[in-house]
Amino acid sequence: MINKTVKNAQEALRGVEDGMTLMLGGFGLCGIPENAIRELLRLGVKELTCISNNAGVDDFGIGLLLQQRQVRKMIASYVGENAEFERQLLSGELEVELIPQGTLAERIRAGGAGIPAFFTPAGFGTEVGEGKESREFNGKMYLLEEWLKADFSFVKAWKGDTAGNLIYKGTARNFNPMMAAAGKITVAEVEELVPAGALDPNMIHTPGIFVQRIFQGEGYEKRIEQRTVRTA
């Protein structure tokens, strides 16, 4: 069985260059590839197209890449909690393609499945549909949406084995499995790395066939984006 383990994030991101398209898993700050993002900052690569549900917050996650002006274009479904993302969008400094969340997920899934395009009703009759082909099916209008793929996909899992098989924990699964299938090179960082064969095959979410490099991450902050508590 092929051992896909690399020593660290530095080795895992070998080959990342300016102008590439990257997918980064996560939803808000949940399940984001923190080690890979830190290494992207250290490398200083620029003119990136980043595909992610959102762009983290101002001082964490993809928000750090935006601060350093490393991102040329964001393909996302949510601006949300990132004031710098919003500022760059409104000022025209950052090219942004906002996509309905379900459509974003399906475009990524289609990229991994080898499906170049599909029809969806989401966005028809809105700005989302401007310039896109539309067609009627059973009396309802649909938009043609194309797949999304990436030069590198960076995903974060709870456990992984040396063959690249991955298990995610709870809601940290989010966009990670579909992004793992849609990258030319998929890099997985895991909290716990175990020998091949140690994982229950029935529990694996991402088969190792989709992963080219895997390493055990470190220093996870696992921030809470918005803490909500009940008053006493």
Where do the structural domains in the chain lie, given as residue ranges?
Answer: 9-117+148-216
pLDDT at 184 over 80: yes
> What separation, in Å, do the N-terminal and C-terminal C-alpha atoms of the chain show?
56
Q: Identify the pLDDT of residue 82.
A: 86
Q: Cβ neighbours of residue 209 under 8 Å, at least 6 residues apart? A: 164
Torsion of CA 177, 178, 183, 187, to 10 degrees: -10
- pLDDT band of residue 78 (cuts 50, 70, 90) is confident
Task: Give the pLDDT score at 172.
Answer: 96
- Dmax (CA) for the chain in angstroms is 56
Q: If you average pLDDT over every residue of the chain, what do you get?
A: 95
pTM exceeding 0.85 = yes
In CATH, 9-117+148-216 is 3.40.50.300: no
Q: Is the pLDDT of residue 223 over 90?
A: no
Distance CA 142, CA 137 (A): 7
Tens digits of per-residue pLDDT, 88-142? 989 999 999 999 999 999 999 999 999 999 999 999 999 999 999 999 999 999 9
pLDDT (mean) for 212-225: 91
Q: What is the pLDDT of residues 189-204, one digit of tens each?
A: 999 999 999 999 999 9
Q: pLDDT grade, residue 165 (50/70/90)?
A: very high
Give the total residue count for the chain: 232
